[in-house]
Structure 1
């Protein structure tokens, strides 16, 4: 991510026909506010409910959310850099930005791959027993350790004294970019695709209860949706990096160090309008990537929506929940009234009166 940030700020913003200083800060600010709000609600729902936080899949979702929150912490740097139109945040911030970006991207994609394996073991317990909570916690720790270790070489390539650029040649940059593409993008996505295919085929072949099938389908849909968001968000970035390195006509401050220009060559880089639009779309997708998982989770989980309604004040209930449909009820018929017993009448007839008088 620092490479494409420099591509926009150090070069494109200096030779641009698009107002990056307006569009990019607005999108970054919206992503920051919406992302933090969505993940806060996600944590409230999963942590406050004892049944939810004890599930292995919920632990993986919380780990995925933690990676998204780490990615959101880098957006203030994007806001300030867009305002300055250059990197003026110092060398320590440059190194921290590059390191945090690599760590959070690794944790996110490795968590999605582990979640796909976990979902397959839950859906097909006959093949392998479902993972326990202890195994999932060990997996989370292993994901963070691997991501932290793999991000260290990227920091050594950053020249933070020269405007937060890359201090490697094109060949060395290709030796770094190709393994990063395979490890952080191709291999995890292939693992997720295989597990999702196995899950879908198992759900079609083995019918369970209606409630269980519905839960498994929605959990699989959440996994596929989160994976598609990651793949779409980072594909333009990798494509631009390869074009930036391989094409001799494209140069920028984000590019690996190339040979110095000759006396007849222009010192300033030439950036076409197509390159500006592609760069802007790539950085916007990366900035918006950490915001999509909470809406997908609440969209595909009715219990989570009910728990969210219970946690929020009653003022928001009518906006979050569906309006209740008034149903007419037929009142039961009242019980039949029994006739009141009539008191005995003491009317005397003429014959009875005559009989009593004669006695």
Structure 2
């Protein structure tokens, strides 16, 4: 699932009409800065609180954040390659980039699926034995091992000469793309959808305490929001790849390097032309993949008031005053005087009168 490798390095080397040297580096730089800052704050809140970091859901959220940080580390390659209109980082970096893109995408979506299963057990099956931190740690290790095992075959397809391309023919790439689409995209999203459906149905039919219902609704909303971000970010990439596999000569902008037909004398040495519609689609797919690792921290802080309070408590006092809420004026009702005023206190008698 090396989207950046396929889409970027075959698009920027094609005769394009949109300036990739301006749009893509700008968005990638903003995504890198915003993503690193957001995930740093997320780690400060989750790790800084001893009670919060021991929760199984916090462990999975930290694992999800770690996968997003790994994806963000690939963005400097995007910046340099888009700015220079070519690959200037050597063969080892090309192989590492393809591996990291597949690894982080797998760890991301598998962590979301594990979060969905955990939230289902907490909400729908509270009578079962609670999931321990040890079990969640084992789940995290399994997630990374499976992601590594699924990312290693991609490395064998990389062929580095002067650019970063993939040495596969049409049949091999179709046999590679279909399993990746099923295991990286369809199966995890189907698992998340089923468990979220059970959670929403349970919250609608049964009522607990108001605080517990509110907490479960916000946790479900965070899971659904993160899943939608992943689904929307990666769907254009798969759509472009499948279109190229079905019709490999539509464009060379977003596909692996297929064996091209022999040029005819009438063709000469004409450059490969890319339609404006296809270039916009390729650029949109690249931008969505670059922005995907940035959305989880804002969603978390938007749906967790305790996390926002803890984050404000970590800030200096001057920053807290700038971010603090303005005091709300409330009407105060004066106490109603009693109908019968109390009798006056007795006067002390003078000693001389006695």
Instruction: Answer yes or no: same fold by TM over 0.5.
Output: yes
Query: How far is the alpha carbon of 1:340 from its aligned partner?
Result: 6.7
Q: Which runs of 5+ in 1 are unaligned?
A: 347-359
Partner of 1:76: 76
Query: Aligned-pair distance for 1:84?
Result: 0.6
1:287 pairs with one of 287, 290, 296? 290
Q: Is the 8 A contact 2:240 2:254 kept in 1?
A: no
1:1-359 equivalence runs, <5 A: 1=3, 2-11=5-14, 15-126=15-126, 128-247=128-247, 248-252=249-253, 254-264=255-265, 265=267, 267=269, 268-329=271-332, 341=348
Compared CA separation, residues 320 and 220, structure 1 to 2 (3 A): farther
Q: Cα RMSD over matched residues?
A: 2.2
Please give the secondary structure, in 1, of the residue aligned with 2:13: helix
Residues of 1 paired with 2:175 and 2:292: CA distance?
Answer: 26
1:130 counterpart SS class: coil
Instruction: Quote the Cα distance in structure 1 between the aligned partners of 2:141 and 2:172.
Output: 31
Paired with 2:223 and 2:233, the residues of 1 have a C-alpha distance of 15
Q: Is the 8 A contact 1:169 1:258 kept in 2?
A: yes
Change (3 A) 1:43 1:174: same
| Secondary structure of 1:165 counterpart | strand
Structure 2 unmatched ranges of 5 or more: none
Q: Secondary structure of the equivalent of 2:161?
A: helix
TM-score by length of 1: 0.90
Q: Distance in 1 between matches of 2:77 and 2:168?
A: 23
On the 8 A contact 1:42/1:294 being kept in 2, the answer is yes
> 1:276, CA displacement in angstroms?
0.9
Cα distance between partner residues in 1 of 2:252 and 2:308:
49
Contact 1:9 1:87 in 2 (8 A): no
Q: Distance in 2 between matches of 1:119 and 1:321?
A: 32
Q: Measured at CA, do residues 213 and 305 of structure 1 come closer, stay the same or move farther in structure 2, by a change above 3 Å?
A: same
SS in 2 for 1:262: coil
Contact 1:165 1:253 in 2 (8 A): no
Q: How many residues are treated as equivalent by the alignment? A: 343
- For structure 1, which segment, 237-246 or 215-224, has the greater mean C-alpha deviation from structure 2 after superposition? 237-246
C-alpha displacement of 1:191 = 0.4
